[in-house]
Structure 1
Amino acid sequence: MSLLQYHSELITRVAADRDKAAFSELFDYFAPRLKGYLMQQGADDAAAEEIAQDVMVTLWRKADLFDPAKASASTWLYRIARNRRIDRLRRQKSAALDPEDPSLHPSEGPDVAVEMDARVREQRVRTAMSSLPEEQEAVVRLAFFRGLSHSEIADETGLPLGTVKSRIRLAFSRLRQVLETDQAIDID
């Protein structure tokens, strides 16, 4: 289970059962990160702490409003934090917001060079994936594109767990060879 899925599961447990252990895990993970994010956005230490606490209280009270189909847990919580910070600024100023406040501006678009590198890398991986034997490619796709654990892949495919692990290990070895060879050709 990925970290994103795990956090979504924890929020679901808070919503369904008021699971204090799940909330505690979410709090320990997100509260310091939210505070850091808010401080990066210009909030002072005390305000960032207060807003982060408020976001976590909101999580406890309104966990049932979280929809993992619409956003990840972190996206949902960071959006609440951003909105709470804007609300706080509005209350403090009661006049117009500072148009230079970075939290009010959309983030800049992606760097074209970075995006092109990502596309090239993606194409290399696709090409490398197509060089795998079908049985290896199938388990890699289940593991990394569908996010299934080794056990879940074994259950879904009917393969022994050891076979699933071996195929993934062999696939990674072959992918590494193909990608390193591909990269060496590009450098020459």
Structure 2
Amino acid sequence: MSKDKTYSELTVWLLAVRDHRDRAAFGDMFDFLAPRLKGFIIRCGARPALAEEIVQDVMLTIWRKAAMFDPHKAQASAWIYQIARNRHIDIVRKESRPVPDELGEDPGTEPDASQILALEQEALHLKQAIQQLHPDQKEMIEKAYIGDLTHQEISTQTGLPLGTVKSRIRLGLGRLRKELKGLR
């Protein structure tokens, strides 16, 4: 089977999934795409195990969001590879977020009672500070840091522009810094 024929079949498979939730078409698409997506993600710099995880996530996203595919706006392969690329970027960003020194732990050390009490008090102060935020800022902070969503995922979920999401998070974090400044 030629590469062009298979890529045109990709559109047929994707439309069958979009329009009829066709499991057989999804299976054919998975068999065709999985090794290609894994190779693409590895070439983007991911470890093989991470690439497999991303492929699974991308395929699940394709199943869930097939209704968003419009063959008049993009080729099926471009739409799918963009999902894969974006998912890889999201994971790289999450992995490269700096961990504050206060949150870093030495492996094998058990906290004593005073450390546990101090941590509980800090958590209480943080919870109170979050409750004092403007509701829009509070929602964005909770989605980003408790829900572990990317800014783009929050934007998609809430329907807000990406810049609005980022501004609310930035303003909320600024207020939290002021509120929690005296803790340390």
TM-score normalised by the chain length of structure 1 = 0.48
TM-score normalised by the chain length of structure 2 = 0.49
